[in-house]
Chains A and B, each alone.
Chain A
Amino acid sequence: MIELNRNKFPEQIDEEMELQGTTFIKEVWYRFKKNRMAMVGAVIVILMICIAFLASQIAPHDPYEVDLTNQFSPPNSKYLLGTDIYGRDVLSRIIYGTRISLVIGLIPTLISMAIGSVLGIISGYYGGKVDSIIMRLADMVMAFPSLLLAMVVMYTLGASLYNIFIALSIVGWAGTARVVRAQTLSIKEKEYVEAARAIGVKNWVIMLRHIFPNCMAPLLVMLTMGIPGAIMSEASLSFLGVGARPPTPSWGLMISNGKEYLFSAPWVAISPGFSILIIVLAFNFLGDGLRDALDPYMKQ
C-alpha cells in the first residue's frame, strides 16, 4: 500500500511508516508486558539486584558478626529470620548472599556463553573438520553430568569462589556452542549472508556483524535460563562442601550449615532455601517471557 511512494510527499510516507513501523525492541516490550508471570519475574530480579547493591545499607546486622550468647534464636523482632549456630543474623546473611548468588549466576554464565558463542559460530560457519573437532569436544563435556564435572574441577583447583567461576564456565560452554552452531547453520544460508559475501565482506566480519547479532534472541534466553542454573550449581557445590568457604554468606553454604538443625532450628536452612527458590523461579519466568516475546512466530 505504500508502494507508490514516488508520487507522494515525504510527510505522507512518514505518517504511514509510523503506523506500520515500530522498532523491534518496542514490539518485544509490548509482547513482554502482556505476560504477567514474566513481569513478576522481572520485578523480582530487579528487586534482587537492588538488594545486592544496597546490601550494606539495608542489612540490619553485620553478616559476619558472631554472637555466641544468641545461638539459634527463633525469628523475633530483632532478628527477623532468627540466628544461626554462631548467633549471626540469618536475614543479613541472606541479604549479603544475594550479591554472591547474582555474581555467581551472571559471571560464569557470561564467560561460558562467550566461549560457547565463539566456538559455536566458528563451528557452524566453517563446518567440516573444524566443526567435527569442536562438536566432539562439546559432546565430551556434555557426556559428564555437569555437577560431577564441576566437582572434579573444584577438587583439583581447590574450593573458592573464583574457582567456581572457572568450573561453571568449563561445564557450561557446550550447551551454548550447540545452540549458536545450530543458529549459525541456518543463518549462513540466508541471502543477506550471501549478499555480504558478494560484496566482499571478510569472514570474521560476516560472523560478527551478520551472524552473531541474529543469534542474540536465543542467547538472551539462554542467559536468563543459565543464571538460575549457575546459582543452583553454586548452591549445590557449596552444599557439598566444594564451593564457597565459610564464613562466606553463600546460600548453598547456609543450607548446608543449617541442615543438621532442620528440626530444632528450621529457619536457618529454610530461609536461604526459599531465597534460592524465589530467585531461580524469577529468572526462569523472565527467561520464558523473553523467549515468547522474542519469538517472531508469536506475531502471527
Chain B
Amino acid sequence: MEYNQEKLLEVKDLKKYFPITGGLFRKTIGSVKAVDGVDLYIKRGETLGLVGESGCGKSTLGRVILRLIDATNGEIKYEGKNILKLRREQMRELRKKMQIIFQDPYASLNPRMTVGDIIGEPMDIYNLAKGHKREEKVLELLNIVGLGTQHIRRYPHEFSGGQRQRIGIARALAVDPELIICDEPVSALDVSVRSQVLNLMQELQQKYELTYLFISHDLSVVKHISDRISVMYLGKVVEISEKNTLYRKPLHPYTQALLSAIPIPDPEIKRERIILEGDVPTPINPPKGCRFSTRCQYAKPICSQQEPVLKDIGFEHFVACHLY
C-alpha cells in the first residue's frame, strides 16, 4: 500500500449514543456510548479490518457509516462529501456505492422471496435492469458468487449457510458498489466454508476493485484478509496500523493482550499470554481518561486523567496511548 492514496471514506469524531429512557415519562436517564469518537479512514481498494471484542461498537460503527442508524455526532466523508448532511434522495443515490454483507446468513435473506428477487431487488430500485436483462444480470451474479443458474427460483431456506452468504454477497454486488461493509461475514459459517467465502470475497475485491471495511472478532480471519487493521475498545479506536506491523509489533497494551490470545497451532511454542483482569467497563459510564486504564498493566496517573488522542507515530501507524 502506498502511503498517499485516495481516501474513499473518512470518519471523524463519530459518535453514536443510544438513549436509555426510564421512569413514567420516558425521560432520558443516560445513554449507551456505543461509538464514542471514532476517527479512521479507508483508502480506495484496500481492506480495513476492524477488530474488537463483543459489544465494543464494531457493528454499530458499520451501520452508522451506512446511515442505517443515525449518528449522534461527527462526520462521515465519502469521497470528500459529508454523507450525514445528505438529504434522503441524495442518500438513496449514494447507497448504490455502499453496501453491506451481514453476519447471519439465516436472518439476512427474506424467506418469502426467491433468490432471483432478492438479488434483483436492488436493480429494480435503481432501474438498472428490467425483464430479460434483469434475469441475465441475476444469473451472471449467481455465477460470479459460485451458485448455479438453476438456483434462481429457489427460496433461501433451501440453501446452506455458505450458499446463503453467497446470495447475500450477490445482492450486495447487484448495484456495483465501491465500498462494502462486511459485518462479520464469516463468523456464522463453518470453518470449512469460511475460507471459501473469504477467498471468494478476495477474488471479487480484485475483480471489481472493491473496498472493504471488514468487521470481525476473529483475529486470524482479519489478518488473512486485511491490508490495515484498526482495533476498537469500548467505542473508540485504540490503534490502527498496517497489518504486519500490527501483528509483529503491537503498541497499544490492549492490542498486545488481544494478539497474545491468538492460539498458535504448535504445542512446542510457549508464549506469554497477557491476561486482562476485570471486565470490560460499561459503555454507559466509561472510565475517565483512557478507557483501558482500568485494566492496563502500564497505567500511569495521567491515564485516568486525560484521554489519549490517536497519534500518528509514523508509517500510518496510529495509536491512542500515553505511553507513546
| Interface residue ranges, A against B (CB under 8 Å) | 1-6, 10, 13-14, 17, 20-21, 23-24, 190-192, 194-201, 209-210, 213-214, 216
CA distance A118 to B296 in the complex (A): 54
CA distance A200 to B93 in the complex (A): 8
Which one, B92, B154, B155, B168, contacts A200 given CB within 8 A? B92
CB neighbours of A17 from chain B (8 A): 150-151, 154, 158
CA distance A87 to B290 in the complex (A): 94
Q: Is the interface of A mostly helix, strand, loop or mixed?
A: helix
* Residue B286 CB within 8 A of the other chain: no
CA distance A14 to B148 in the complex (A): 9
* Residue B108 CB within 8 A of the other chain: yes
- Closest CB pairs A-B (n = 7): A21-B158, A191-B108, A200-B95, A213-B112, A200-B92, A191-B107, A191-B102
Whether A3 and B192, one on each chain, are in contact in the complex, defined by CB atoms closer than 8 angstroms, is yes
CA distance A87 to B269 in the complex (A): 101
CB neighbours of A209 from chain B (8 A): 110, 113, 121
* Residue B323 CB within 8 A of the other chain: no
- B237-295: which residues lie under 8 A (CB-CB) from chain A? none
Whether B95 and A192, one on each chain, are in contact in the complex, defined by CB atoms closer than 8 angstroms, is no
Whether B157 and A24, one on each chain, are in contact in the complex, defined by CB atoms closer than 8 angstroms, is yes
19 contacts between A and B (CB under 8 A): A1-B160, A2-B163, A3-B192, A13-B150, A21-B154, A21-B158, A24-B111, A190-B108, A191-B104, A194-B63, A196-B110, A198-B95, A199-B99, A200-B96, A200-B122, A200-B125, A201-B121, A209-B121, A210-B110
Whether A198 and B154, one on each chain, are in contact in the complex, defined by CB atoms closer than 8 angstroms, is no
Whether A192 and B146, one on each chain, are in contact in the complex, defined by CB atoms closer than 8 angstroms, is no
CA distance A197 to B151 in the complex (A): 25
CA distance A1 to B160 in the complex (A): 8
* Residue B66 CB within 8 A of the other chain: yes
Which one, B110, B125, B154, B171, contacts A214 given CB within 8 A? B110
| Interface residue ranges, B against A (CB under 8 Å) | 63, 66, 68, 91-92, 95-96, 98-100, 102-104, 107-113, 121-122, 125-126, 146-151, 154-155, 157-158, 160, 162-163, 168, 171, 175, 190, 192-193, 196
CA distance A198 to B113 in the complex (A): 17
Given A5-B147, A10-B148, are A194 and B68 also a contact pair (CB < 8 Å)?
Answer: yes
CB distance from A295 to the nearest CB of B (A): 14
Whether A23 and B192, one on each chain, are in contact in the complex, defined by CB atoms closer than 8 angstroms, is no
Whether B162 and A3, one on each chain, are in contact in the complex, defined by CB atoms closer than 8 angstroms, is yes
Other than the known A10-B149, A13-B148, A195-B100, what 15 A-B pairs have Cβ atoms closer than 8 Å?
A: A5-B163, A14-B150, A17-B158, A21-B155, A190-B107, A191-B102, A191-B103, A191-B108, A192-B107, A194-B108, A198-B95, A198-B99, A200-B95, A200-B122, A209-B113
CB neighbours of B109 from chain A (8 A): 192, 195
CA distance A3 to B102 in the complex (A): 19
Residue of B nearest to A212 (CB): B112
Which one, A6, A13, A195, contacts B108 given CB within 8 A? A195
CB neighbours of B104 from chain A (8 A): 191
Whether B158 and A198, one on each chain, are in contact in the complex, defined by CB atoms closer than 8 angstroms, is no
Residue of B nearest to A213 (CB): B112
CB neighbours of A4 from chain B (8 A): 196
CB neighbours of B68 from chain A (8 A): 194, 197-198
CB distance from B185 to the nearest CB of A (A): 12
Whether A3 and B193, one on each chain, are in contact in the complex, defined by CB atoms closer than 8 angstroms, is yes
CB neighbours of B157 from chain A (8 A): 21, 24
CA distance A4 to B148 in the complex (A): 12
Residue of A nearest to B107 (CB): A191
CB neighbours of A201 from chain B (8 A): 121, 125
CB neighbours of B160 from chain A (8 A): 1-3
CB neighbours of B162 from chain A (8 A): 3
Whether B193 and A192, one on each chain, are in contact in the complex, defined by CB atoms closer than 8 angstroms, is no
Given A195-B100, A195-B168, are A3 and B163 also a contact pair (CB < 8 Å)?
Answer: yes
CA distance A192 to B101 in the complex (A): 10
CB distance from A292 to the nearest CB of B (A): 18
CB neighbours of B158 from chain A (8 A): 17, 20-21
CB distance from A42 to the nearest CB of B (A): 23
